[in-house]
Amino acid sequence: MEASEKAPRIAKPSWLKVKLPTHKNFFKVSELLNQKGVHTICQSAKCPNISKCWSEKTATFLILGDICTRNCRFCAVKSGKPKPLSPNEPDQITGAVESMGLKYVVITSVTRDDLDDGGASFFSQTVKKIKDKFPDVKIEVLIPDFKGSQEALKKVFDSGPSVINHNLEVPYALYSSINREPKNYYRSLKVLKNAKNMGAYAKSGIMVGLGEKYKHIIQTLKDLRSVSCDLLTIGQYLQATKSNSPVKKYYSPDEFNYLKNKALNMDFNQVESGPLVRSSFRAHHLYNRLIKTH
């Protein structure tokens, strides 16, 4: 039996209740994205903030298709054999940026281990396409690890994103339990370190509630600061489907504030920490606060 079948579900606390979408902007954004034919991580990962973000006319674009070559147990994104890349994606996303009037754009992707450079050149094309048409738009890329390739990372960096984001997701102690090779934890830290060495603002995110202990979280924060990570997000893990790992604990808002203060005391520049915080949650606010301190 799967672990999710063995463990009884824990009832969601009151602070995790998400309101259904009612704002007209939500439906406008939904229609626009369908018209442009673009994928979003908001939909693919079943993000609990989709109503709030789309109502504020923000979305996180998903490139390289919507099928991932990896199968992490926390993730709701489809896994399997991806389809060939669509050459229209950069233009479709640029069109969506224009139609939505975005000033800050977040672009992420599924992991594509089947591609020679992991999709880095496609990230580069997409960023350049947007910047060529809208030079004042700031772009944050939330990238996979590209199997640790510095050459692939350099392709992305050279396209000129404002922030390079790469998530550790969970502490090292939990990697095996989420179907990730433990060595990939250190690969991911190296991705962030290399991004910083290239001159990028580096950002990462973790989830809590999968069975980690506080000492594991604190060690993860220390590890991120050891590679000079600038920006951090901490959010509550939520089980999206029955096949995903079960929630082991719901952290209270006070606990998230505690973790935020711990991180700030370790000299992270900016931190978003809360039950519904996700990698791109209030990304433009985090970036703007970062810039004001530099």
Confidence band of 7 (pLDDT split at 50, 70, 90): low
Homologous superfamily (CATH) for 21-292: Aldolase class I (3.20.20.70)
State yes or no: pLDDT of 54 exceeds 80: no
State yes or no: pLDDT of 117 exceeds 80: yes
For residue 151, give the 3-state DSSP assignment: helix
State yes or no: pLDDT of 235 exceeds 70: yes
What pLDDT, on a 0 to 100 scale, did the predictor assign at position 189?
98
Lookup result for tokens 């504030």? 257
Please name which of 189, 40, 155 lies closest in space to residue 100, comparing C-alpha atoms.
40
What pLDDT, on a 0 to 100 scale, did the predictor assign at position 5?
44
Helix ranges, the chain (H): 3-6, 24-36, 41-44, 50-55, 89-100, 120-133, 150-158, 183-198, 214-226, 253-265, 283-292
User: What is the pTM for the complete model shown?
Assistant: 0.88
